[in-house]
Amino acid sequence: QFIRDLLVTDELGVLYNLPNNPDSVVVFKDMIAPILLNKCTPCHNGTQIKGGLVLSTQEGVKEGGENGPIIKEGKSFGSELFRRISLPPNHPKFMPLKTSPLSFGEVSLIRWWIDGGASYEVRLPDMPIFEDIENFLLRDFDYDPNPKPYFEIFEVEAANISQIQSLRKKGFIVMPLARNSNYLSVRTSQEISILSAELLAELLPIKANITWLDLGNKQVSDEHMKLVGQFIGLTKLHLNNNPISDEGIKHLMALKYLESLNLFDTKISDEGLQFISKLNSLKKLFLWQTSTTLNGISQLKRSMPKLEIDTGFSFERE
């Protein structure tokens, strides 16, 4: 049975309790089934089975009614369910009859689900979310499908102010990420032309607070990467204009929240891209003036289709 906690029903649509993490949202169970329950089950349930159609269970939706299946995978306009809910309200075959019509947003969500393959297991991150669908999710469900960055989800205690002052005296520019935030953005000043591994290690006592780290153009090497890999709260990392190779990139595998990685003008090759493909949270990657090839980048795109890759000419996105 479909069991949902209904919150609000109005002319704009239905607000439901959805999992906080978009990765946990099963599109049919959490988004489509509640619409069917709210609008269709007065006529199509285990007791009232008009047209031999039961829409109160997943099995009933799959089986269809007296005239066969009501859903054709990938073809909303060939699906009887979509045809009935999108007919003019005065049409004799328009559905539903006993409740208010589906909102434009609800109809659009059902069409989106059917055109996306009508899978009963697919999760929200695996569905293409177009701008209009994202708008419906925000308006009708009060729900943002985009995962929140690490620093908006997890709290961290404030860094020791004396440690921050000491780091600033040594040439680090340490700033709060936002007002009233304990997370920090760190980069080096012009006073530091070459960043030694020993000086980089001075940041480790406040590593839990650092989520943006800019080490660009400071002669950072593969040896430094062993330290960088310990900053597990990083969401943005700039390593551009440094002699970093594939050997150094493999030390970043622990950065499970990393969303943006700048490798402009480094020695990374296609071998390093294999390590990058394991950074599941990565959204943006800067690769211009590297030893990577078009073939290597294409393979990375296939394994990470949502990743934006800047090759120096334009963002490529499938």
Which residues make beta-bridge pairs with 285? 261, 309
Judge residue 198's burial from the number of C-beta atoms within 10 Å of its C-beta, 0-12 exposed, 13-18 middle, 19 or more buried: exposed
Judge residue 104's burial from the number of C-beta atoms within 10 Å of its C-beta, 0-12 exposed, 13-18 middle, 19 or more buried: middle
Kindly state the tokens that stand for 59.
């099995």
Region of residue 163 (phi > 0: left; psi between -120 and 50: alpha; otherwise: beta): alpha
Output the pLDDT for position 183.
95
Give CA–CA dist 61/120, Å, rounded.
10
Give CA–CA dist 32/10, Å, rounded.
17
Q: Which amino acid is at 164?
A: I
Mean pLDDT, 10 residues at a time, the chain of 318 residues:
40 54 83 88 76 86 90 94 92 85 91 95 87 84 75 87 96 92 95 96 97 97 96 96 96 95 97 95 94 94 91 53
Output the pLDDT for position 17.
65
Output the pLDDT for position 16.
58
Output the pLDDT for position 313.
57
Number of H helices, E strands in the chain: 13, 10
DSSP 24: G
Of 94, 5, 96, 1, give the one whose Cα is nearest residue 42.
96
